[in-house]
Structure 1
Amino acid sequence: MLKEERFQIILERLVQEQKVYLGGLSNLLKVSEDTIRRDIRELADHGLLKSVRGGAVPHSPGPHHFRDRVSHDQERKQMIAKKAMDFLRDGQVVVFDGGTSAMLIAQLLPKNLRLTVVTNSFPIASLLEEHEYVEVLFAGGRLLKNSFVTIGSDTIQFLKKFRPDICLLGICSIHADLGVTGPDYEESEVKRTMIETSKEVIALATIEKLGTAEAHYVCPTERLSVIITDQSAVQEQFKVYTDMGIRMV
């Protein structure tokens, strides 16, 4: 079998099962595990999957630059933002990360809702500047230009000063075994601090981000209190998360 044919079968199997294993692919393709490992490494180098110990999982789909993400999956992100409104109450301290779904929530906040918002997102801080009853606490630091958020030690030290009631966490990738991951190391460090200091963590994720992984670890999946998606809460693929005690919305 040609290498290109193996590549196609590996990618098709990954779409079907959301994770592939060296041993299973070796038996299926009648080649050694070392050959499969090299195939996976080459596919990973081309950005077609994420190599993990013992096999591979999909990369998160969609663009990574903020400008591109703003217009990507707008309708589905609006569904997520509307669902998230049910979790917000007067008097809460809420940390907003720099995700585009979190930005849509900021746009939807009722004009009479009283919140304290902690954020490292320039677009969110700008949106809430006109909200009369929302106090905005902005985490300064170094600008990550492709996400329009601040990162670095100054940002992290600022975030550690608060104990938010809720963290609204835009998600790049969630995998039941591999946890929450992201494409940028320093932004992932900031997200980890937001999670560690918050009482409740609400993940905002379109359905295709479930079962995927990126390079930089953020937190274990079990740390999430709620995952809000653009789908009905009753889905067979959600069982792995509800079995962890995570509420699917």
Structure 2
Amino acid sequence: MLKEERFQIILDRLSKDQKVTLKTLSKALDVSEYTVRRDLKELTDQGLLKAVRGGAVPHSPTPHKFSDRLNYLSDVKKIIAEKALKLMHNGQVVAFDGGTTAMAIASMLPPDLNITVVTNSFPVVNILESHPAIEVLFAGGRLNKTAFTSMGHDTISFFNKVRADIFFMGICSIHPSIGVTTINYEESEVKKAIVGVSKKVVALTPHERINTGEAFFICAASKVDVIITDEDGKALAEDAFRDSGTAVL
């Protein structure tokens, strides 16, 4: 069997099952696990999947550029935002990161909600600057011109001084064994810092990001208290994260 034929079989199985293992692929392709591991590495290098211990999982289909994400799944983001609003009440310190779903939540906060928002997102700050009852604390640092967020040592240092009641975390990928991951190292470090200072961590994700993986680790799935997703994602998340103690909305 040609290498290209193996690649296609691997990708077809991954699309169908949302994960593949070295053992099953070795048997299906009639090649050694060493050959399968080499194939998975090459497919990972091509950006077609994410090789993990013992096999591979899909990459998240989420667009990488902020401008491309603004109108991506806008109806789903609204559904997720409406669910998120039910977790907020007066007096909380609420952390938002730079995800576009966090922007959707910020744009829907009721005018009488009295909370403190801490964020590294310029768009979230712009949305909330005219809110009559919300105090906004911005984490300064180096500008990420692609995501319109601050990042780096100063950003992390700021968040380390905060004790948030709840963190609404926009995510790129989440998987029960791999955890929460993203494509950008510095972004992963900022999110990791916010997770570490938050009493409750809420992952905001459409169904297509569930059971996917990327290169840079943020936190284990067990650190996520709640997953808010769309209707297609509820059964998927409840099944995948049953053993992690994570609630699904």
Q: Shorter-chain TM-score: which interval?
A: over 0.9
Q: Indicate conservation of the 8 Å contact 1:181/1:215, yes or no.
A: yes
3-state SS, counterpart of residue 36 of structure 2: helix
Partner of 1:64 in structure 2?
64
**Aligned residue type for 1:208:** E
Aligned pairs for 1:25-104 within 5 A: 25-104=25-104
How many angstroms apart in 2 are the aligned matches of 1:229 and 1:237? 8
Bigger CA drift: 95-104 or 52-61?
52-61
Partner of 1:223 in structure 2?
223
Aligned pairs for 1:1-249 within 5 A: 1-231=1-231, 235=235, 237-249=237-249
Q: Indicate conservation of the 8 Å contact 2:173/2:214, yes or no.
A: yes
How many angstroms apart in 1 are the aligned matches of 2:189 and 2:237? 28
Q: Indicate conservation of the 8 Å contact 1:242/1:248, yes or no.
A: no
Q: Which runs of 5+ in 2 are unaligned?
A: none
Q: Report how far residue 71 of structure 1 moved.
A: 1.2
**CA RMSD between the two structures:** 1.2
Task: State the TM-score, normalizing by the size of structure 2.
Answer: 0.97
Task: State the TM-score, normalizing by the size of structure 1.
Answer: 0.97
Q: Report how far residue 8 of structure 1 moved.
A: 1.2
Q: Indicate conservation of the 8 Å contact 2:207/2:233, yes or no.
A: no
From the superposition, tell whether residues 79 and 154 of structure 1 become closer, same or farther in structure 2 (CA, over 3 Å). same
How many angstroms apart in 2 are the aligned matches of 1:194 and 1:237? 23
How many angstroms apart in 1 are the aligned matches of 2:225 and 2:112? 26
Q: Deviations over 1:195-234 (max 9, x none)?
A: 0000000100000101001100000000001000011675
3-state SS, counterpart of residue 164 of structure 2: coil
Q: Report how far residue 120 of structure 1 moved.
A: 0.2
From the superposition, tell whether residues 236 and 171 of structure 1 become closer, same or farther in structure 2 (CA, over 3 Å). closer
3-state SS, counterpart of residue 212 of structure 2: coil
How many angstroms apart in 1 are the aligned matches of 2:3 and 2:217? 31
How many angstroms apart in 2 are the aligned matches of 1:55 and 1:233? 23
Q: Report how far residue 240 of structure 1 moved.
A: 2.8
Q: Report how far residue 243 of structure 1 moved.
A: 2.7
